[in-house]
Amino acid sequence: MRDVTFGRYYPSKGPLHELNAALKLLFLVLYIISLFISVSYTGLCVCIIFIFLCIIVSRVPFKSVLRSFRSMIILAFVSSVIVCLTHADNGALAAFTVFVRLTCALCVSALLTLTTTPSEVADGIQSSLSFLRVFHIPVQDIALSVSITLHFIPVLQEEAEKIYNAQKSRGADFSGNLAKKASSVVSILVPLFASAFRRAGELADSMESRCYGSGPERTRLHSAGIHEADVLASLLFASYFLFTISVRLLLW
């Protein structure tokens, strides 16, 4: 159960942890675009090498990155097999493309959450989307919702694990026939939802009792700012991005 570590911060204090979160979000979007620009074996391999280098630099162990989306790799694999079978010509490349795009996109998202705390992510979203405020879109509230959601992923994971242990101790069977399995899964989902709703209610009460939303705009304890490392990282990333574009243009 604890293997599902998607959204869990890994405090290894690598250089990626120090970067400005808004910038990292921008990199994430651009990286995913670069995955879709690349259509050849060469191009896709460049994307793979880049994400590998990022993981090495981040000092997050490969195991932790992989573990955070292990279950979804199967999905990527199945879809690439389907693509391979349905494509008449060059099915191998098509399958490879689908597989690499899906796993690298998962990988980069996992890397973002492993190297960025939920509140940094929220601040990053807020500052990169703040221009939307001209259109009266409540960017701050959206950012807070995202941050709370990210905060709650590990909390709910822990809760799910507790309930799983309790029901397993009562003989719940997660591998037997379908009927038994179904009742075992229900025995976890019902208390999990009950506790999620209870927590959400408690959180809302405690925010309200501290006057959330009634004052002027919230200020921040730590402001992110742009540092030398951010400039360097932007240069590096820009060269990667231009490189993938030129691979596409020159090699097809």
**Which residues of the shown chain bind another protein in the complex (CB under 8 A)?**
10-12, 61, 63-64, 162-163, 165-173, 180, 183, 186-188, 190-191, 194-195
Q: How far is the CB of 12 from another protein (least distance, A)?
A: 6
Which residue in 235, 241, 230 sits closest to 17, CA to CA? 230
Rank residues 188 and 247 by Cβ distance to another protein and give the closer one.
188
Q: How far is the CB of 150 from another protein (least distance, A)?
A: 18
Dist CA 153 CA 159 (whole Å)? 10
Rank residues 131 and 197 by Cβ distance to another protein and give the closer one.
197
Which residue in 114, 167, 123 sits closest to 147, CA to CA? 123
Dist CA 161 CA 176 (whole Å)? 20
Rank residues 145 and 183 by Cβ distance to another protein and give the closer one.
183
User: Does an H or E element contain 60, and which?
Assistant: none
Rank residues 180 and 248 by Cβ distance to another protein and give the closer one.
180
Q: How far is the CB of 193 from another protein (least distance, A)?
A: 10
Cα 86 to Cα 76, 82, 83: the distances in Å are 15, 6, 5
Dist CA 128 CA 51 (whole Å)? 23
Chain Cα centroid distance, residue 85: 30
Q: How far is the CB of 163 from another protein (least distance, A)?
A: 5
Q: How far is the CB of 185 from another protein (least distance, A)?
A: 10
Which residue in 199, 230, 221 sits closest to 120, CA to CA? 221
Rank residues 56 and 190 by Cβ distance to another protein and give the closer one.
190
> CB count, 10 Å around CB of 198?
10
Q: How far is the CB of 168 from another protein (least distance, A)?
A: 7
Which bin fits 6, alpha (ψ -120 to 50), beta or left (φ > 0)?
A: beta
Q: How far is the CB of 59 from another protein (least distance, A)?
A: 10
Rank residues 18 and 173 by Cβ distance to another protein and give the closer one.
173
Rank residues 173 and 208 by Cβ distance to another protein and give the closer one.
173
Which residues lie below 8 Å from residue 96, measured CB to CB, with a gap of 6+? 41, 44, 80
